[in-house]
Chain A
Amino acid sequence: MSVSSEEKVEAPGGHPPHTAPAVAKTSWWKDEAQEPMRRNLGLVGVLLALFAIGAFIRPDLYSNPDWVINNIMVILTQAAAIGVVTVGMTFVIIGGGIDLSVGALIALSGVWATTLATQSFGPVGMIFTAVAVGVGAGLVNGVLIAYGKLVPFIATLAMLVAARGLAAQISGKQTQISADQFINSLATTRIVGIPLLVIILLAVAGLGWVLLNRTTFGRRTVAIGGNAEAARLAGINVRGHTMLLYALSGLCCGIAAIMLTSLATSSQAAAAELYELDAIAAAIIGGTLLSGGRGTIIGSLFGVIVFSAITNLFAIANLPTEVQNMVKGAIIVVAVLLQQVRFSSVTQFARRHGLTRAKPQT
């Protein structure tokens, strides 16, 4: 495999050799452009490994194809809401920011959408409310960060605290039951055997992929996260776009709030706790650079599914959640270490040992 791809990426001929800079040939394993593909294959490998471990522990269950398919749907359903949030988070991080408020915004959107007053407007009113609250709160984040020049970490941390407070205020710290049959049925509906929530996740991820890779919005996001100053000097409205990124994250929170409400047939101020950490971790192990400018939706999706599969495996194996969290922590560290090793080790090692040419300094 690596042989054929080496041939493919050979340097274009036809110019004098002394002008050909840096790499003439790159193997598939070292080509930076292939990094997302390598990482996604790695995450698929992790999923297969988790499956193998499951089959080893519980051969009785894993030998039953119906159970296996059903279990995959369970894993995906559990990943659905957090996956939607992670898509928004991925945009924010690629754009050079961070959104710590997503869990709190889900709680706020969910609580607001399930007040008796909102429920009286029916499912459309509830969905509209959840989305509007998410987008509105996201816009507040965006304005504070883009125009108020607050550091994203601080602005969204403040929103985290405030939104949970507001959610508790609205709900009176009570669990609000959703009496709406349509909303409640979302979680139980299947279309050609696939749960609706999973379809929503795939739809959001698909739209996110198109938005990131095929639209001017996505191009601006990558440019701003990669080099905000260069984007600004290219005439891109950096502040306006940054604001929109947080609104987009808020929109995803609104959608996730409806999904969680449907799953639990209720909402409460304590819902979606620590979702921000799961979403960030999933994006990071999916290959999104925390400093911005690089990341993929598919990677993030795999990141979410890996976490969900671990939770599932621990439940099946009857292992304590404490161990589960330790394993998740280890996976984050390993994923980031791999990212650093793969990218920079070769070049940095060479530079440190004087194997490549240093930059001229005059």
Chain B
Amino acid sequence: MSEQAADTGEVVLRLSGVVKTFPGVRALDGVELEVRAGEVHCLLGQNGAGKSTLIKVLAGVHRPDAGDVQWLGERVEFSGPQAAMKAGIATIYQELDLVDYLSVAENIYLGHEPRSLGFVHKGQAARQAGELLGRLGHGEIPAQRLVKSLPAAGKQIVSMARALSHSAKLIIMDEPSAVLAHDEVGNLFRIIRELTAQGIAVVYISHRLEEIREIGDRVTVLKDGRTSAVNLPARSTPTRDLVSRMTGRSIEYVFPPRPDTAPGETLLEVRGLGRSGEFTGVDVDVRAGEIVGIAGLVGSGRSELLETIFGARQAEAGTVVMNGKALPPGSVAAAVRAGIGMAPEERKSQALLLGQPIYRNMTLTNFSSYASAGFTNAGKEQAAAMRVADQLELRPRDVNRAVRTLSGGNQQKVVVGRWLLGDTRLLILDEPTRGVDVGARAELYQVIRDLAANGVGVLLVSSEVPEVLGLADRVLVMREGRVVREAPAAEINEEDVLDLVMAGSLTAATTEEVAA
């Protein structure tokens, strides 16, 4: 029936030639999209392909620089999220935007409470909320419950009820399954089917091909901010076709060549590392002079793994051995002493003192080593920071400047540079090029390769598969907290990795296709 809708339903939303640029980035570069009433339209694309920006354009958060957005047959330009909501477009973000300490009903009617003379009709709100929840097949969720006490699946249902309360005709769901357990996904799909049966259109974003095959009607694929394919049938398009349209991105990645020399002795040995709900049974080796890359989706446990190796999270199972010595779990200080450094995922919130000068950020881990009898030596610190700034070609090369004033790429150099000052033998990099423009990326790649050439072991995670494949000597693919594949970078390609990351083994997907 929804297949039918995809062909015959009335077109509710049509985008043509939508462009959105940010300084230095052309996030959307001519996007086409057509969504019909009653269909589940899937958006597919790698990280950085422009999915998030597209969603934000639809939700009224961003205004497109060029192009046409037609909603219900009329050209529209939303002044803000409220306007989009009013027009009937609701968005359910990955991080659900609910207020924890308000009740279910209060959340559903937040901002448009049934009221007269400024007084909220609590009873009426609760009753109507109950009806909406009932329509979603979850009448059992009490409208008076605090949202805080609901599990992730329950919160998602509240978000959907809120969308219904605005009489949404289009609901955008940004990776809704990412926060759900397996059995809850089935329930989500049942709700989506009921919504579409009522003529509501759903734009569904997911990295998991199996889900797209099960729930989707049509697929639009994004690559480099452009639509590389529109309106493919979700069920019958071969996996190879979908993956190939997402890959081969044209971003000019310039990777330094791999050296011919074999890596040195083993620096890091991780065995059976695990934390419940995050990852299990992970084995990783990193040798001196070797770059090991981990590919995986957000939520695959990759960042958690890195933080656990570094001691920022306490391991529940397994061992981390550095230079032949076992590290105590949950101790960053011990990891640093053993020669491990980490550039965390969130540069600003996890790594930098933004208002402080560059040199103080660089010496954050080892300012004590320049001090005598507890008195800091700013002169020595500045000189040391200056050496690193020269080595990394930091711009501007003024180590007294506040880190806040630097570009993303130079801020990342400060974080990496911090570990060059100490005796770091293993460097852990979590998303080293996030928010870094193309030119600075190439420089960072060279910095990382140079470090390896000097005998430093590097363990890095990136959401961008080409980056992992281009930079690393050896690649680990993680999915749902497990390492599902390990191979030399030369023996694995982007499509293989994407396939492993998104849908399980390629053979499984092929059999499905045969069955379909």
Contact = CB atoms under 8 A, between A and B. Distances in A.
Given A20-B396, A215-B376, A294-B355, A361 B27 contact: yes
A118 B324 CA distance: 56
A234 B374 contact: no
Nearest to A289: B355
B151 interface: no
Contacts of A12: 396-398
A216 B23 CA distance: 39
Contacts of A215: 371, 374-376
A71 to B, nearest CB: 38
Interface in A246-289: none
Nearest to A15: B395
A361 B24 CA distance: 11
11 contacts: A12-B397, A21-B406, A214-B376, A216-B367, A216-B368, A223-B356, A226-B356, A230-B349, A293-B355, A360-B24, A362-B48
Contacts of A232: 312, 332
Given A219-B367, A235-B336, 15 more contacts: A15-B395, A15-B397, A21-B395, A22-B406, A216-B367, A216-B376, A226-B356, A230-B364, A232-B332, A233-B342, A235-B365, A293-B355, A294-B355, A360-B22, A361-B52
A232 B353 CA distance: 12
A33 B337 CA distance: 33
B22 A358 contact: yes
A5 interface: no
B25 interface: yes
Interface residues of B, number: 47
Contacts, number: 116
Given A21-B410, A362-B52, A234 B24 contact: no
A14 B344 CA distance: 31
B32 to A, nearest CB: 19
A21 B351 contact: no
A237 B374 CA distance: 15
Interface of B: 22-25, 27, 48, 50, 52-53, 56, 310, 312, 332-333, 335-337, 342, 344, 349-356, 360, 364-365, 367-368, 371, 374-376, 395-398, 402, 405-407, 410, 418, 435
A344 interface: no
A357 interface: yes
Nearest to B411: A21
Nearest to B377: A214
Contacts of A181: none
B53 A362 contact: yes
A237 B333 contact: yes
Contacts of B418: 234
A32 B355 contact: yes
Given A215-B374, A235-B333, A237-B333, A358 B353 contact: no
Contact of A233 (B22, B48, B312, B397): B312
Given A20-B395, A362-B50, A233 B332 contact: yes
A19 interface: yes
Interface size range on A against B: 35 or more
A11 interface: yes
A233 to B, nearest CB: 6
B351 A233 contact: yes
Contacts of B48: 362
A227 interface: yes
B435 A360 contact: yes
Contacts of A357: 23
Closest A-B pairs by Cβ, 9 of them: A360-B22, A235-B336, A226-B353, A22-B405, A234-B364, A19-B395, A234-B365, A357-B23, A360-B25
Nearest to A19: B395
A155 interface: no
B444 to A, nearest CB: 14
Interface string A26-40: 000000110000000
A229 interface: yes
B310 A214 contact: no
A214 B405 contact: no
A353 B435 CA distance: 23
Contacts of A330: none
Contacts of B354: 226-227
A122 to B, nearest CB: 32
A52 B351 CA distance: 48
A14 B335 CA distance: 39
A231 interface: yes
A233 B415 CA distance: 11
Given A233-B344, A233-B350, A219 B360 contact: yes
